Structure 1
Amino acid sequence: ILIPSESYAPKAVRQALGSVFQNVYAEGYPPLRMTRDPEERLRDVAWQLAYYRRYADRRFYKGVDYVHFVECLAQRRCAELFAHDSVRPEHIYVNVQPLSGAAANLAVYQALMEPGDTLMGMDLFQGGHLTHGSEFNISGQRYRVVSYGVDPRTERLDYDAIRDLAREHRPRVIVAGYTSYPWAPDWRTFRAIADEVGAYLVADIAHTAGMAAAGVYPNPVGIAHVTVFTTHKTICGPRGAVILTTDEELAQAIDMAIFPGEQGGPHINKFAAMAVAFRIAQTEEFRRLQRQIVANARALAEALAKRDLRLAYGGTDTHLLLIDLKSVGDRAGDRQGRPYAGDRKGRPYLWGEPAARILDLAGIVVNKNTIPGDTETALATGIRLGTPWVTQRGLDEADMDTLAGLIHRILVNIKPFAYNGLIGTLPRGKIELDVLEEVRHGVAALAEKAGIDFEYERSDYPHYPETRGQGDGGTGRQGDKGTVGLQVTGWRARQFVQEVVTANVAELAPSEAIAAYILDRHGRLIDQVVVKREGSDEWGRDRYLITPTPANTARVASWLRGLADGYILFDEEDVFRKVEGPVVVEETAGQEDKGRRRQGDKEKGSGTSAAELFA
């Protein structure tokens, strides 16, 4: 998994998240006194309970004696984690109740601005977040938005241009911190700009909080007026968010904006999991992890660049990077001379959507992303990659080079094209099955060496595309002497089977069978099979049983499943052609009897051309 906003929560965090605290409602906040107590005093349970019983608290429910402990413990551990030489833990005010980073950002705006005030944030298309003023988000609808971006020449932040923009528009809030801009911001320069125009500076370190806590990314606490982050990215904790400030008045306004302003009952089990995650984040092992995350991102960036894949923004010094897909491959058009949709000259772009989809089929999870120059999310020409998850599983710089090779192998072999749909351009792409399976094997080898903290069973089709094995035909049925069949099910199964075999199966009645051939994209024989029509299933979907020869079962299964997914190249002359689908292709007991032969087909060996086969 290379999604930079995802990480793997350790077992201890998951156990706390699954605790009985999830059953409790606790609207409101802990006693103010407890939120200021250090952890050592919080551990004096008898004293804290005695104080709780004698005095009122800020909750709307009773029976929350122990909720106070876990919420305050999470607050104090968080303050300790982000304290540094200039800011002591007791001077950091912490709210751990936001349900997500978006909710936290909107609550901060609610506390600092009035509707119609000016919000200044980074353009969504160039690295900002939806809540930094996107027109599709409440932040872009409630406030007057002024967006800054990168210098079109350097693709880096231009602080002089940002200062000029702030002077012109006098924003109430400037938000910095990004979801797809891969370089760390200069917090002090941003604060100087904010002070000059009378704005609040909000640091959104949702992605980079773990690195900031570990000292491998600049810590904005004490520089920004407010710092916001999520706990499920590089903090490696539960899903949630935290708001920090060193200003007590702002802290009170933010608390009111969260509850009762925006949310009701908080998720108490999340507090327990946060407390565990923040304790783990104080360890040397966590700091080593964060250093390796950054090292792996740089290594991956270098490995991609040496394979002539251009990196948007010129590289990275954080956990994420973006590939500019406009740097990939040949743009000559298809063999019939038709240009693929793409740039002004008609040359094909490899867009982010098909690139991400095909990488996903290979076992590499990324996301499409806009990069400088893009104007539509649907036509993003970048893909975003991050290293937290793979680093947690023990992969290092050498593995990043291997991974870069696998990514490159996929990207340069995708044949991009596009349809003109009712809603505009629909980006698509196809790839050769052999290339896809080669990369799947490489990904499987990397995954096999990676560590994980629980026992698991391997997931086969339909959950994960199974790669062909050795000695078992790739079916996973080593030692099984029975014939393996492939059951094809779907409302378009009849059309699908008709298009992928040589016989006319459309005329088959239920229980009838026919011999046929399956050919590859060159018109060469993959296998001779028996196709039997079965009765419809309980949903009325057609079903066909295709029985290959045992030695070719894996190849036939991969071919059929690839065609059903819609991303396998099967026609050298026309990349636009497609096979009907979707269908499910599952292994089952095969058809022993070869059935009736309507075409007079003769069994031929693999590799025989179609022309010779039907001569």
Structure 2
Amino acid sequence: MSDDFIFRGSLAKVDDTVRQIIAREDARQASTIILIASESEAPEAVTEALASSFGNIYAEGYPREESRRQTQAEIADIDLELAHYRRYSDPRYYKGVEFADTIEALARRRAAELFAANGISADNLYVNVQPLSGAPANSAVYTALLQPGDTIMGLNLNDGGHLTHGSPVSRSGKVYKGVPYFVDPVTEVLDYDAIERIALENKPQIIVAGYSAYPRIIDWQRFREIADKVGAYLLADIAHISGLVAAGVHPSPIGIADVVSTTTHKSLCGPRGAMLMTHKRDLARKLDRAVFPGEQGGPHVNTIAALAVALKLAGTEQFRALQRRIVDNAARLATQLQEHGIRVVGGGSENHLLLIDTKSVRNEGTPDGVHLTGDMGSRILDVAGIVVNRNTIPGDKGALSPTGIRMGTVWASQLGLSARAASANCARVSIIRR
């Protein structure tokens, strides 16, 4: 086997087994209705940038700080940027990173312009686009702001919280003390007065708002008031709803929370990565050092390039229309499932996801009316070509035996899911119920 074959051979020639597996996955995605709330299809331009030669290089460190206040046009003046680089170099440890500097500066600026809100301008919104995914991003926030043993207060995992919000099975609950708050057991929505009482009792150093399985609008200002009463930082984790926030269909926590974290796929429809944002300059420096060298080494520059493309797309009217459709489809799906006798947790959906209670699907032919489990329900739907995930819901004993199914409408809406199609999908689910 020649060196040329190793480095220049096509995937089909080098490893047809992997090619076939990829082809099968392509076919699976094309032939099913994907209602996984944390998944979306990255646009072709995003995946093209992701496969670029930026994936070959290391670029430990950051672009020069002054580039944060440059306009996109100034950053894109590559000849001028090269002249500056050749004269002054940059703060990174590696050389050969002049174009990595440009692409990262562009991604940071596009994110700042896209998410600037609540009186915070793009010039005063500090963005880090280097976190490799959501969990390391949140870990970096804790590294920057907390000491081991400090208290993190986040939503209980079974009520829709995330592992990285202080769960005892996560590093966030091992290095730090995790204190949960809960949704109201009757309404299944956040009870801010109860959350305040828990905060006053436990005096956390940081409160996390933002969830992986909560279908309602979040009152960021109320969380700010609670955090201020106990002297806590407020972290807004908008990993699931960042696309909705960018499009203005969900309130923004920018300028309210001390730090905002998000993944860059899910509803933002970009590559698999993450970002951190803050309007506080002193925190920005701490966050940067917590990401590198605190949490990770060299960033994935190809992912940052793909993110820059996704952020440009997220600033378009087409993207905003998509996000409105995502929310409308989730609300309609929730309503129609209820009309078919399936209980929806919290009574509906105000974002991109909904949770159904599989206990509302019972086998009336058995003496005790055995109910459907989340696992069995998700498996039945998968066979029918509808892809979802089992999920805990309020009242569940644990993650091993959940009685819920989580559904999201991002991917289906990207492919043109309409109100009529949402009705058809509801009918398919209800047929399976019967």
Superposed pair shares fold, TM > 0.5:
yes
Would the alpha carbon gap of residues 206 and 39 (structure 1) be closer, same or farther in structure 2, given more than 3 Å must change?
same
CA distance in 2, matches of 1:225, 1:330: 49
Specify the SS of the correspondent of 1:227.
strand
Classify the secondary structure of the residue corresponding to 1:221: coil
User: Is 1:49 equivalent to 2:49 in the alignment?
Assistant: no
Partner of 1:350: 372
Where does residue 398 of structure 1 map in the other structure? 420
Specify the alignment match of 2:411 in structure 1.
Answer: 389
Q: Aligned residue for 2:235?
A: 202
Equivalent positions of 1:203-242 (< 5 A) are: 203-242=236-275
Q: Distance between the aligned counterparts of 2:424 and 2:329, measured in 1?
A: 12
1:314 offset after TM fit, Å? Answer: 1.2
Q: How far apart are residue 56 of structure 1 and its match?
A: 3.8
Q: Tell me what 2:384 maps to.
A: 362
> Going by fraction, where is strand more abundant, 1 or 2?
1
Correspondences of 1:335-484 after superposition (within 5 Å): 346-412=368-434
| TM-score normalized by the length of structure 1 | 0.64
Distance 1:377 1:117 in 2: 26
Q: Within 1, Cα distance between the matches of 2:202 and 2:340?
A: 43
Q: Which amino acid aligns with 1:3?
A: I
Superimposed CA distance per residue, residues 520-559 of structure 1 (whole angstroms, 9 cap, x where no aligned partner)? xxxxxxxxxxxxxxxxxxxxxxxxxxxxxxxxxxxxxxxx
Does the 8 Å contact 1:353/1:378 carry over to 2? no
Q: Secondary structure of the residue that 1:29 maps to in structure 2?
A: coil
What SS does the corresponding residue of 2:277 show, helix, strand or coil? strand
Cα distance in 2, alignment partners of residues 122 and 196 from structure 1: 18
Separation (CA, whole Å) in 2 of partners of 1:353 and 1:265: 39
1:273 maps to which residue? 306
Structure (1 or 2) with the greater helix fraction:
2
Pairs within 5 Å for 1:236-255: 236-255=269-288
Note if contact 2:131-2:275 (Cα within 8 Å) is conserved in structure 1.
yes
The answer on 1:294 being equivalent to 2:339 is no
Q: Secondary structure at the match of 1:60?
A: coil
Matching residue's letter, 2:211: Y
Q: CA deviation at 1:186?
A: 0.2
**1:413-470 residue CA offsets vs partner (Å, 9 max, x unmatched):** xxxxxxxxxxxxxxxxxxxxxxxxxxxxxxxxxxxxxxxxxxxxxxxxxxxxxxxxxx
Whole-Å separation in 1 of the counterparts to 2:433 and 2:58: 49
2:196 paired residue number? 163
Instruction: Say whether the 8 Å CA contact 1:12–1:276 is kept in structure 2.
Output: yes
**Distance in 2 between residues matched to 1:142 and 1:358, nearest whole Å:** 39
**Considering only CA atoms, is the larger Rg found in Structure 1 or Structure 2?**
1
> Aligned to 2:320, what secondary structure does the other structure show?
helix
Task: Work out the CA distance in 1 between the residues paired with 2:349 and 2:422.
Answer: 14
Quote the Cα distance in structure 2 between the aligned partners of 1:279 and 1:46: 22
The Cα of 1:347 is off from its aligned counterpart by: 3.7
In structure 2, the residue matched to 1:177 is: 210
Counterparts of 1:166 and 1:332 in 2: how far apart (Å)? Answer: 47
Q: What is the aligned length? A: 401
Distance 1:244 1:227 in 2: 5
Q: Which has the higher contact order (CA 8 A, sep 6+)?
A: 2
Q: Does 1:319 align with 2:352?
A: yes
- Alignment equivalent of 1:140, drawn from 173, 176, 187: 173
Query: Which deviations, in whole Å up to 9, do the C-alpha atoms of 1:239-284 show, x marking residues without a partner?
Result: 0000000011101001001000110111001111111000000000
Which one-letter code corresponds to 2:240 in the other structure? H
Aligned position for 1:118: 151
Q: Does 1:72 align with 2:105?
A: yes
Asked whether the equivalents of residues 37 and 266 of structure 2 are also in contact (C-alpha less than 8 Å), the reply is: yes
Alpha-carbon separation, structure 2, partners of 1:135 and 1:170: 18
The aligned amino acid for 2:422 is M
1:9 to 23, 42, 45: 42
* Contact residue 68 and residue 123 of structure 2 kept, 8 A: no
Distance in 2 (CA, whole Å) between partners of 1:43 and 1:323 is 47
The counterpart of 2:318, out of the listed 277, 285, 289, is 285
Q: Distance in 2 between matches of 1:157 and 1:266?
A: 36
Tell me if the contact between 2:391 and 2:404 (Cα under 8 Å) persists in the aligned partners. yes
For 2:365 and 2:197, locate their aligned partners in 1 and report how far apart those are by CA, in whole Å.
43
Within 5 Å, which residues of 2 pair with 1:98-109?
98-109=131-142
User: Residues of 2 paired with 1:53 and 1:307: CA distance?
Assistant: 66
Separation (CA, whole Å) in 2 of partners of 1:122 and 1:347: 32
**Residue 52 of structure 1: CA displacement?**
1.2
Q: State whether residues 63 and 101 of structure 2, in contact with CA within 8 Å, keep that contact through their aligned partners in structure 1.
A: yes
Q: What is the distance in 2 between the residues matched to 1:258 and 1:168?
A: 31
Aligned counterpart, 2:162: 129
Secondary structure of 2:153's counterpart equals strand
Deviation (angstroms), 1:371: 0.4
TM-score for both structures, normalised by structure 2: 0.91
**SS of residue in 2 equivalent to 1:409:** helix
CA distance in 2, matches of 1:331, 1:226: 50
Q: CA deviation at 1:69?
A: 0.6
SS at match of 1:228: strand
Contact persistence 2:245–2:252 (CA under 8 A) = yes
Q: Please give the secondary structure, in 1, of the residue aligned with 2:267.
A: coil
Alignment partners' CA distance in 1, 2:66 and 2:191: 44
Counterpart CA distance in 1 for 2:231 and 2:143 is 17
Whole-angstrom distance in 2 between the partners of 1:347 and 1:407? 20
| Aligned-residue offset at 1:35 | 2.8
Identity of aligned residues (%): 54
Which residue in the other structure is 1:594 paired with? none
Matched residue type, 2:227: A
* Residue ranges of structure 2 left out of the alignment (5+ in a row): 1-33
**1:331 shift after superposition:** 4.2
In 1, Cα distance between the equivalents of 2:170 and 2:307? Answer: 27
Q: What is the RMSD computed on CA atoms of the aligned residues? A: 1.0
Measured in 1, the distance between the counterparts of 2:138 and 2:326 equals 26
Alignment partners' CA distance in 2, 1:72 and 1:2: 34
